[in-house]
Structure 1
Amino acid sequence: MESGGRLEKAGTRLRLMLRALSSRNYRLFFAGQSVSLVGTWMQQVAMSWLVYRLTGSALLLGVVGFVSQIPTFFLAPVAGVLADRWRRRPLLLATQTLAMAQAAVLAVFVLTGTTPVWLIVALSALLGVVNAFDIPIRQSFVVELVEKKEDLGNAIALNSSMVNGARLIGPSIAGVLVATLGEGICFLINATSYLAVIIAIAAMRLKPVPRRPGRKHILHELREGFGYAFDFKPIRYILMLLGLVSLMGMPYVVLMPIFAREVLHGGAHTFGFLMASVGIGAFCSTLYLASRTSVIGLGRVIAVAACVFGFGIAGFALSSSLVLSPLFLALAGFGAMAQIASSNTILQTIVDDDKRGRVMSFFTMSFMGATPIGSLMAGVVANRIGAQNTLLIGGVACLLGGALFGRELRNLRPLIRPIYARLGIIPEVAAGMQTATDLTSPPEDP
């Protein structure tokens, strides 16, 4: 009896963690993306190793990371306007097809042994342009796929678990394949994997989305989106912290080959193992987030997660042990994913529907757009003071940013709480009237 009760309780908890999968369209999206993202992570690992094998240059690692992501900084806001204006499914089909073509071209050149560095840089820049449009459109598309809007937070957490499950599997496979067959096979597998998500998106049955009336000039809508996002302190502070962490902490990824070879004295297997350690920590983080039943309390999670990420990066920078380094990276992966997914969930919850695409484009700018600038800076600084000192500075900066955000939470709570009350996430106080005391002393922060 007791054993049966435990099994029933475990089953109930599992159903709670997977509740967004009850929506058919989201199941298709989840399945297709799960396959495609494994290939994406394989390509990322193979690309970094290919550049370092061909050049041995930390600076060029930074350059490739820069050109593959800097388009996001400039083009994501335009993509946000398009996501608010046009149907998102055809836009996603276009971006996924272009990304598949980029991987296929790269695979052909690498497999034939004719891969000049300038071509790698050019193809990385092309993928950066595609991703600049794909990511904000895909982020804002998720809300159309979930039938029960109260499951949106769970869907976002499952998205994160999907990304990090792929981050766990992809680098592990890539490390073996790069060491045995070379980088080209990873690019070929990635190109093929895009077929899964293209087929899944095409098979969805979506409700018609009414077109927004009174379209204005694209620049006017850009200004409107900026004003909406940055005039509201909770959105502004979330984006600022995310930008800081992406600028100062996330460049650890482009410096990873240096740590694998020079600090830990390993090879492609070591590189894949380190990347997989990040995935393990991030995957554990998404399991925690998926088990949550409410967005209430995620503000505190964001602050703590940024500090955990900073501590993990600083510890990894100081470590020269093949035992401790993966542990610090797992901690960093846990903190990074908790911050990113929690920020995404809060933004998707509080944003107005007609501005969702633009706000998610600013989220993409802060997350993906700041990273290339940090990657380029990290490559330059690492050439001067070393990769370990570079990451140590970044980790300390993330720790300080998380602490400052945590101190500011008391000022953000009164601004978010009325939105949560209007959405039914928390009950109205005294038949809809919220007193100053209620707003400044909530039971739990947003």
Structure 2
Amino acid sequence: MKGLRRPRKHERASQSNALKALGHRNYRLFLLGETVSDTGTWMQRVAQDWIVLKLTGSTFAVGVTMALQSVPMLLFGLLGGLVADRFPRRAVLLVTQSLMGVLSGALALLAWTGDIRVWHVYLIAALLGVLIATDLPARQAFVADMVGRESVSAALGLNSAAGQLAKVTGPAAAGLLIAGVGGSWAMAFNAASYFCVVLGLLLMREQELCAEPRAVRERKQVRAGLRYAFGQPDLLVPISLAAAVGTFGYNFPVFLSSFTKTVFARGPGAYGLLTTLLALGALCGALAAARRSEVRPSMLTGAALCFGALEVAGALSPSFVLFCALLTCAGLWGMLFTSGVSATLQLASDAEMRGRVMSLYILVLNGSTAIGGPLIGWWAAAWNPRAALAVCGATSILAASGAVVWRRRITARQSCEAARGEAVIAPGADI
């Protein structure tokens, strides 16, 4: 009888990367809390939008609620990154997660008593947005504090996988609760989920966290963070690539709605299927990212190229079934790209600058998507959805190609500078 095939060396190594990250007790507590919290967040989003629609009967009011929760990240995100650099990130997260739990609990209580008004939702959404602007950079930068630099890529992949899983299960659970017992219970679950994160943070062993230097208090520290990011090619290239891809490639709500209705003449069931397939593809991409031990520049540009090529192929797809398959693959490569950029920035930045670098990345990714959404929507209406998607995919391909050329020029210049330095030192070598 033939024996079982032994795993190849690279397979064993890739499998151990995720296990190495999970070997850290602090990270296991963090990941468990984040999984529950992300599920609660998606549940509250669905319940919140439903309540606003029920109170006002206006989809515009739903859009205002989303904007109030998103705009603070654009306004205060860089300051949030500075907070993550100045103060212990575990302490920052304890404060932000506790306050977000209180706000979500207040919203659930108002909904449960029937005293809720739309201005209540607006106010709490805006306050949550301010807290998220501080929480998100700290949460991103805290990963390296828990697992060390060698396991950052795997840990970020596991984080993304947990987020994608919550994106699939959260809205479904919220729909069941809203239909069964009301939206207030979905909000109550979200409030409780924050305290799961708080409990996990409190149970962490502080001595097992990586002790890294903090930024000292100085004037114009936000500007210093921007100068640092823009002055480091290893940071500037992936951030610029993320801005280009995010502006044109990540506006899937526009693409999916227009393709469902205009191109394939289908109903809401098809739209729900496309959304689910995109999330499942992203989940597979996150799990694949968790198997990586490192992220090379060629991986980022390769992922962006594949992502853009799949969008172009989707624009040319003659059938709905083929479009579904291409969309799933695009979700996979898109997640490999974003998780790769995040890991690259964390590993390439100094510890005292990591929070500001991550806040800049979050700002660029979210801001570019917000700018690109209306523009792509106009393109899709003025031309047709296929042309808009093809242009967006081609833009990602061009951006990736430009990043390759940019990186090669930087490498060539650094080689020339090193050679000149050796030439200057050489005459005095015998002294």
Q: TM-score by structure 1 length?
A: 0.77
Aligned counterparts, 1:22-421, within 5 A: 22-51=23-52, 59-147=60-148, 149-207=149-207, 209=211, 212=214, 214-217=216-219, 220-253=220-253, 264-266=266-268, 274-296=274-296, 297-304=298-305, 306-307=307-308, 310-311=311-312, 327=325, 329-374=327-372, 377=374, 393=388, 396-413=391-408, 415=410
Q: CA deviation at 1:107?
A: 2.3
Residues 78, 222 of structure 1: 8 Å contact kept? yes
2:407 alignment partner AA: L
The separation in 2 between residues aligned to 1:156 and 1:416, in whole angstroms, is: 27
The separation in 2 between residues aligned to 1:25 and 1:390, in whole angstroms, is: 46
Q: CA deviation at 1:339?
A: 1.8
Shifted more, 406-415 versus 79-88: the winner is 406-415
Aligned to 1:443: none
Q: CA deviation at 1:98?
A: 1.8
Residues 305, 338 of structure 1: 8 Å contact kept? no
Q: CA deviation at 1:170?
A: 1.8
In the superposition, relative to structure 1, how do residues 174 and 333 fare at CA in structure 2: closer, same or farther (>3 Å)? farther
Residues 65, 372 of structure 1: 8 Å contact kept? no
Structure 1 segments unaligned to the other structure (5+ residues)? 420-428, 437-446
Aligned to 1:440: none
**How many residues are matched?**
413
Residues 69, 369 of structure 1: 8 Å contact kept? no
In the superposition, relative to structure 1, how do residues 67 and 240 fare at CA in structure 2: closer, same or farther (>3 Å)? farther
Structure 2 segments unaligned to the other structure (5+ residues)? 421-431
Shifted more, 249-258 versus 19-28: the winner is 249-258
Secondary structure in structure 2 of the residue aligned to 1:18:
helix
The separation in 2 between residues aligned to 1:174 and 1:403, in whole angstroms, is: 40
Provide the identity percentage.
31
Residues 156, 345 of structure 1: 8 Å contact kept? yes
Q: CA deviation at 1:63?
A: 3.1
Secondary structure in structure 2 of the residue aligned to 1:162:
helix
The separation in 2 between residues aligned to 1:115 and 1:314, in whole angstroms, is: 44
Shifted more, 132-141 versus 224-233: the winner is 224-233
The separation in 1 between residues aligned to 2:351 and 2:241, in whole angstroms, is: 23
Provide the alpha-carbon RMSD of the alignment.
3.9
In the superposition, relative to structure 1, how do residues 214 and 156 fare at CA in structure 2: closer, same or farther (>3 Å)? closer
Higher radius of gyration, 1 or 2:
2
Secondary structure in structure 2 of the residue aligned to 1:288:
helix
1:277 alignment partner AA: L
Q: CA deviation at 1:287?
A: 1.8
Residues 66, 372 of structure 1: 8 Å contact kept? no
After superposition, give the CA deviation of every residue in 1:165-216 in whole Å (9 maximum; x if it has no partner).
Answer: 2223223323433444443332222111112111111111123746547531
In the superposition, relative to structure 1, how do residues 8 and 327 fare at CA in structure 2: closer, same or farther (>3 Å)? closer
1:240 alignment partner AA: S
Residues 81, 355 of structure 2: 8 Å contact kept? yes
Secondary structure in structure 1 of the residue aligned to 2:332:
helix
Residues 239, 366 of structure 1: 8 Å contact kept? yes
After superposition, give the CA deviation of every residue in 1:267-296 in whole Å (9 maximum; x if it has no partner).
Answer: 7xx776554333211111012222223322
The separation in 2 between residues aligned to 1:388 and 1:49, in whole angstroms, is: 33
Q: CA deviation at 1:239?
A: 1.9
The separation in 1 between residues aligned to 2:57 and 2:256, in whole angstroms, is: 13
The separation in 1 between residues aligned to 2:197 and 2:381, in whole angstroms, is: 40
